[in-house]
Structure 1
């Protein structure tokens, strides 16, 4: 089978499409014939060497945190799935993978899968797995957004941002989206009540907010200062400075800057599917790339300035 791998850490051009043996599912695992996988920040960090402590220096290493596809085989003890079922899911983000979601086949634990929403194509489904579950965990579980609250989504045009705008709107929040001006019409259509241009808007010109969801990871202390007395803030844009700001904010109690490690299981994926089925969440895709052009998909993700996700179509 074909799989996207790299033999050394670096820029997107280290990615190679290699021919490797097809994996077989062990007990409790499912083999999925992958139809699509998206590019996520985790993929870029691993590829560039930002998680060497976890991924190590044994190569090759595969990329692709999420996937959508069809069950090809099941291991012993797996119930609830059979060959031909359409599923979506993720590989474990804290494990080293020789091959991962950006491959023709992937093996994962059965509790990392769920049925794919019937109304989505594989490309659409793959675009929502990580972005959607991250936004849902952030808003529902981390900051517990309530109806009527004012919420700021910073980095609103990205994969997590576009999902967060939609979910915050469906949860009854008054949504301010911070993004490029040229994306205002799209974000408004997704449910944003206001769109402010990030290039000309400073933190002290907006708010205050009951909830802030940050996907950027910079100037966190400035935006935390725009919280109401009972406000909550969460960031998914992690970096060295961001981690320092998170640690320093602990003195502020409930108004601290929160973060989390999204690691969705079957229950979370089913919850996400319910939001899709209800019409509260729909895919936003900027580009679709064939498996052979996986490096171009990573490059497009890193350039930024787009709306939504970069998706790798494995099986057309």
Structure 2
């Protein structure tokens, strides 16, 4: 058995083309750790920011650096016996605030794992851990979305947005989606009652909402916040990458100077939240939406595709 593995790497910050498929030592699980053979991972916005050098706090250390946050695969080996896991168990999970799941193997703690949904192809499953847990946290835990409330999802055709539309419907909300013109029928099929082209629709055209979920990078938080009904809640999982400090300052000020607070969080899910996502999928409330599957050798193309926009759901990278 080889002591090396294939992995996506980059030797400098820059555009997608800095990424390449290289080789690293195969990790060995220590006590209390799990070695997972990765079937697939997905491309997330935070990885684009890190690759460009915009999140150096999360990519400490020298080059080469790695990419990938979530994964779906099978348990390969255990650093110590565990009753809930055994080699061959299908799992999915997240690396937390680290990068490196775009590789043949990852070592994680059990708290970063949950059983993958029964009957779901693991390549398809890889589209969900990051965005699915984010959508659950945003709507259920932060906004406390209730049946009958009006929910606006900004960026409804993307990774988090496509799950949020499905969850909003499952929670009994009346869902409105903002997306590109080519994706309006797609968002309606996911469960939105109303859909609008974000390029030609202004906030003034939309009315009032009890909950607004912002998943779209760029300016505009203030204009959408003004659409909140009394007691309304706005959750943002994205901000303007060109004005990071100003965006975060606005979110912070909303909690102090206004009743319509904007909630922002960075996902770091553990087992209970991943297990909740598994249950939502197995119940039929949520399904993965995969735009394109790329081989690991095309990791640069996968990053480029996400940067170009217009994605329906997620771009997935097949490792095997």
| Bin of the TM-score, shorter chain as denominator length | over 0.9
CA distance in 2, matches of 1:300, 1:189: 23
Aligned counterparts of 1:114 and 1:207: Cα–Cα separation in 2: 40
Query: Which residue in the other structure is 1:205 paired with?
Result: 205
Match of 1:174 in 2: 174
Q: How far does the alpha carbon of each residue in 1:18-66 deviate from its partner, in whole angstroms, 9 at most, with x for none?
A: 1111000111210000000000011111111111123125111111100
> Which residue, out of 306, 310, 317, partners 1:312?
317
1:78 to 1:45, Cα distance in 2 relative to 1, 3 A: farther
Aligned equivalent of 1:34: 38
Deviation at 1:140, TM superposition (A): 0.2
8 Å Cα contact 1:38-1:311 kept in structure 2: yes
For residues 163-216 of structure 1, give each alpha carbon's deviation from its aligned partner in whole angstroms, at most 9, with x where no partner exists: 000000100000000011221111111100000110000111112000000011
- Asked if 1:76 is matched to 2:80, the reply is yes
Aligned residue pairs, count: 311
Any gaps of 5 or more consecutive residues in structure 2?
none
**CA displacement at 1:245 relative to structure 2:** 2.0
> Cα deviations across residues 62-110 of structure 1 (Å, max 9, x unaligned)?
11100000100111264411100010001121x4x5xx11001111111
> Once superposed, what is the RMSD of the aligned Cα atoms?
1.2
2:24 is matched with 20
State the match for 1:131 in structure 2.
Answer: 131
Q: TM-score, normalised by structure 1?
A: 0.96
Query: Is the CA contact 1:181–1:195 (under 8 Å) kept in the aligned structure 2?
Result: no
Q: Which is worse superposed, 46-55 or 70-79?
A: 70-79
In 2, Cα distance between equivalents of 1:2 and 1:222: 46
Match of residue 154 from structure 1: 154
- 181-190 or 30-39, which moves further after superposition? 181-190
Q: In 2, Cα distance between the equivalents of 1:77 and 1:49?
A: 39
* Alignment partners' CA distance in 2, 1:253 and 1:268: 30
Contact kept in structure 1, 2:96 and 2:269, CA below 8 Å: no
Residue 220 (structure 1) aligns with: 221
Offset at 1:247? 2.0
Give 1:8's aligned residue: 12
Aligned to 1:235: 236
Q: CA deviation at 1:268?
A: 0.5
Is 1:294 paired with 2:295?
no
Tell me the residue number matched to 1:258: 263
CA distance in 1, matches of 2:317, 2:110: 23
Deviation, structure 1 residue 252: 4.4
1:127 match: secondary structure? coil
Q: Is the 8 A contact 1:29 1:107 kept in 2?
A: yes
Q: Report how far residue 138 of structure 1 moved.
A: 0.2
Deviation at 1:9, TM superposition (A): 1.0
The residue matched to 1:307 in structure 2 has which SS? Answer: coil
* Separation in 1, partners of 2:190, 2:119: 18
- Give the TM-score, by structure 2 length: 0.94
Task: Judge which range, 47-56 or 165-174, deviates more.
Answer: 47-56
Contact residue 158 and residue 311 of structure 2 kept, 8 A? yes
Given that 1:211 and 1:233 are in contact with CA atoms closer than 8 Å, whether structure 2 keeps it comes out as yes
- Is residue 65 from structure 1 mapped to residue 69 from structure 2 by the alignment? yes
Does 1:90 find its partner at 2:91? no
